Every structure is written in structure tokens, then in C-alpha cells.
């Protein structure tokens, strides 16, 4: 068996075309163009590349985008002042603060400072709290992208046992909450560094999502034949290539479907950011 590739790049192109069409209609009908403000503190090369890709996707889909680049020694007070201005700006519908931030800035304080109405990353306590209460508003982008990869590739989720490796606030926790929502109805197990006998848990899963931050952690003997594997990890290799949290070559011979790295979950994360920004702009129109 050789697994089918779940092509996130192709699906992202399809969904971004849908978003572009809806953006055009919103502009034509209500004269509202969705706008996303990105804030980048410091000169982290990976963050710079990610923000550039997000801005490029915005422009292609017809969204307005702004980039606020701040030096690494920017004070927390100055960053909070910028966020206050963006929160108050009516043409800014979504705010993205690129993480990680420099060590002298408290990330939790900054995440909490973004208006819940503009939290298009879905990281804020308001967004996560609504999700936990079963009343989701903005879904965190990477977990939502994982869900879209499954649903749009006709992979059954309702009733499926899904094992998530990793419990971060960015992927593991919100993904578990999303998959447990009524109407999605998965049975979810979340594994972490203190979990015992992880291999037994992953071998019991219909779907395994790996977001553990360890290069090629998931081996072929850790899944049952025919399982679906979603790889959220991304690691730069010494030769300049990329690999994920899954031993792709070996696992592909056991799984029924698998995401590549790159070209799997990554493009979907950016797509769901655009989706949330469009949704925020629509909410503004409804509130008028």
C-alpha cells in the first residue's frame, strides 16, 4: 500500500479562489474590502518568510494587507500601543501578531491585547473559550486547516478515533476542541510528553495528527495499516530541504493517506487566516 497524498497546496488554491470570489462580492455589495494587519517584531527569517507568504496570499485573494515591522528591541508598551491603534482602526478587520516574539515581551499579554473581533489567528482566550463552550467564532488557523484537509478529501471524521500528538495552544488543544464539536463528532485522544505507551494509542487510531515538534517522530510501526496521517511539523534539514514530524517515506507505505511536508498543512494555515479575515469583515457589515 502506498498512501494517497493529501495535497494542501492544491486545496489551498481552490479555497483561496472561493475566498477571492466572496471578497469581490463583499466589495461590490457593501464596499467593504477585508483588511489584515500583520505585526512582525524582530528579524526571525522563518517569521519573515511566513509573513511574506501571508501577504502574497492576501493580495492574490483581493484582501488588503499591511505589514508593521518593528525592531527586536521594541518595548512591550510600544507593541501594545500599536495593537490599540489597530484595534480601533475600522479598515483593519484582522490582526496577526507573528510568533514567537522576543524574549522580553510577554506573549500572553500581547495575544490577550488583540480585540476578540479581530483575533483572526484564533489564539485569544475569547476565541478559545467560545470554542470550548461549543459556540466557536474564529477557529485557530492550523487546526481548521487540518479539518478542511480531512473533510474536503472525504475522510470520515464523525465517530473516528483521532489521536493528536502535542497539546500546544496553537495546534493540539484547539484541534481537539474542534474535532469534538457537535456535527464533527470525532473521538479524540491527546498525547503529550507525559503520556504512557504512545505507540499503543497511535496504533488504535483511524487518524493520527502529529504536532509534537520532533523530526520524524512518528514511525511506520506506530500506526495501523490504512490509517490517515496528518503531519503538522516542519523542520529545516542540513541540506536545505524540509521534513516533518513523520517519517514520511516509511509511514507512506502503511498509511492510506498522508500529508507531505512541505505542501500539506502549511498552505492551509494561510488559507484559513484569509477565511477568518473575510469572516471578520462580514461580521462588520452585519453589525451595521
Q: Are 270 and 14 in contact (CB under 8 A)?
A: no
Query: By three-state DSSP, how is residue 210 classified?
Result: strand
Contact 181, 136 (CB under 8 A): yes
- Note whether 38 and 52 are within 8 A (CB): no
Q: Alpha helices of 67-170 — where are they, by DSSP H? A: 76-88, 107-113, 125-132, 141-152
Q: Which of 16, 54, 148, 247 is catalytic?
A: 54
Active site residue 54: yes
278 backbone dihedrals φ, ψ, rounded to 5°: -60, -40
Please choose, from the candidates 259, 156, 141, the residue with its C-alpha nearest in 3D space to the C-alpha of residue 206: 156
Residue 243 bridge partners (DSSP): 235
Handedness of CA 178, 181, 187, 189 (dihedral sign): positive
Q: Is residue 239 among the annotated active site residues? A: no
Q: 121, 206, 245, 247: which one is catalytic?
A: 121
**Measuring CA to CA, which residue among 198, 150, 202 is closest to residue 175?**
150
Q: Which of 16, 98, 231, 247 is an active site residue? A: 98
What sign does the dihedral 113-118-120-122 (CA atoms) show? positive
Is 60 in the active site? no
Task: Answer for the pair 228, 207: CB distance below 8 angstroms, yes or no.
Answer: yes
**Dist. CA 285–CA 157, nearest whole Å:** 33
Catalytic positions, written as ranges: 54, 98, 121
Amino acid at each position: 500500500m502506498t498512501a494517497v497524498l493529501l495535497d494542501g497546496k492544491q486545496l489551498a488554491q481552490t479555497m483561496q479562489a472561493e475566498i477571492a470570489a466572496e471578497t469581490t462580492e463583499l466589495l461590490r455589495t457593501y464596499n467593504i474590502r477585508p483588511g489584515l494587519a500583520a505585526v512582525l517584531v524582530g528579524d526571525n527569517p522563518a517569521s519573515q518568510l511566513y509573513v511574506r507568504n501571508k501577504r502574497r496570499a492576501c493580495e492574490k485573494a483581493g484582501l488588503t494587507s499591511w505589514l508593521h515591522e518593528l525592531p527586536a528591541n521594541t518595548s512591550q508598551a510600544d507593541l501594545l500601543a500599536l495593537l490599540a491603534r489597530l484595534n480601533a482602526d475600522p479598515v483593519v478587520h484582522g490582526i496577526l501578531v507573528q510568533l514567537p516574539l522576543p524574549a522580553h515581551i510577554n506573549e500572553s499579554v500581547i495575544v490577550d491585547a488583540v480585540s476578540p473581533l479581530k483575533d483572526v489567528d484564533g489564539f485569544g482566550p475569547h476565541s478559545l473559550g467560545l470554542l470550548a463552550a461549543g459556540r466557536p467564532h474564529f477557529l485557530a488557523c492550523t487546526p481548521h486547516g487540518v479539518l478542511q484537509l480531512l473533510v474536503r478529501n472525504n475522510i470520515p471524521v464523525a465517530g473516528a478515533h483521532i489521536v493528536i500528538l502535542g497539546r500546544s495552544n496553537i495546534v493540539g488543544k484547539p484541534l481537539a476542541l474542534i474535532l469534538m464539536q457537535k456535527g464533527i463528532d470525532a473521538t479524540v485522544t491527546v498525547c503529550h510528553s507525559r503520556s504512557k505507551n504512545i505507540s499503543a494509542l497511535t496504533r488504535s487510531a483511524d487518524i493520527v495528527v502529529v504536532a509534537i515538534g520532533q523530526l520524524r517522530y512518528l514511525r511506520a510501526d506506530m500506526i495501523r495499516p490504512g490509517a490517515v496521517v496528518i503531519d503538522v511539523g516542519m523542520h529545516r534539514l542540513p541540506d536545505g530541504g524540509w521534513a516533518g514530524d513523520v517519517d514520511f517515506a516509511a509511514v507512506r507505505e502503511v498509511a492510506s493517506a498522508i500529508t507531505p511536508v512541505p505542501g500539506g498543512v502549511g498552505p492551509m494555515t494561510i488559507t484559513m487566516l484569509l477565511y477568518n479575515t473575510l469572516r471578520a469583515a462580514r461580521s462588520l457589515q452585519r453589525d451595521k
